[in-house]
Amino acid sequence: MSPVLEVRGLVKRFDGLLATDHVDLDLRTGEIHALIGPNGAGKSTLINQICGELTHDEGSILLEGQPIDALTAPQRAQHGIGRTFQIVQLIGEASVLDNVALVEQVRQGRTWRLFDGRKSRVGLRDSAMERLSTAGLADRADTRVLDLSHGERKQVELVMACALRPRLLLLDEPMAGLGQSESAGMVTMLDRLRHEVPILLIEHDMDAVFALADRISVLVYGRIVATGNADTIRNDPEVRQAYLGE
């Protein structure tokens, strides 16, 4: 089966800096593929090229075998390239359930409006509730977004990104700023999600990466220096030297 996402020979230059240096990467159905590397390695730059917020100078990006190089960021989102920010924004005054129901509504091409209790909306609420239950957030359904912790907000954002039914998810440091138990909650949630949507995960929390990733790619100065499973990456001499500081 061909990968959901293929990045082939991607190059991005910022003035003299080669931020993306002939990167090849793919994302397969059912997998979490982690992208790790030191600060400034070019991880965010790579994700921004995939979702179309940055153009690339050379190479190609394919979604389910079709080149998407010519598509704008909104078009790529419509084609199923999902991410946790800039697609959805939470409405603080509304409940978690209504926020998720709103995304269901948008996905179905209906008018943007908050749930108003009419019968026609019951289906939306049901599917939103199902999503929250699957994510382990059912007990927060009636909580106002304003009253959530930072970690819970991030989890709700993820549920909302998934409610758009993307073909893949690009996550740029979802654990950033989370406490230990919040990180653990996020790990559980991502672990459940892998069967629903393949995930390209940038993350600094190496415990989370090793717990979650089917494959790990290591980016150093814009170049992929290794790709493999956790054991391969742990034992790769170049990775240990360049990234793990050994």
Positions touching ligand ADP (CB under 6 A) are 14, 17, 19, 37, 39-45
Shortest distance in whole angstroms from residue 48 CB to ligand ADP = 7
> b/e string for 8-45 if b means 16 or more Cβ within 10 A?
eebbbeeeeeebbbebebbbbeebbbbbbbeeebbbbb
Closer residue to Mg ion in complex, CB, 78/86:
86
Shortest distance in whole angstroms from residue 40 CB to ligand ADP = 4
Torsional class of 64: left (φ above 0), alpha (ψ -120 to 50), beta (otherwise): left
Rounded Cα gap, residues 64 and 225, in angstroms: 25
* 21-50 residues near Mg ion, rule: CB under 5 A: 43-44
Kindly give the interhelix angle for 96-107 and 122-134, rounded to the nearest 10 degrees: 110
12 binds, among Mg ion, ligand ADP, none (CB under 5 to 8 A by kind): none
SS3 17: strand
Closer residue to ligand ADP in complex, CB, 53/64:
53
Closer residue to Mg ion in complex, CB, 47/161:
47
Closer residue to ligand ADP in complex, CB, 39/66:
39
123 binds, among ligand ADP, Mg ion, none (CB under 5 to 8 A by kind): none
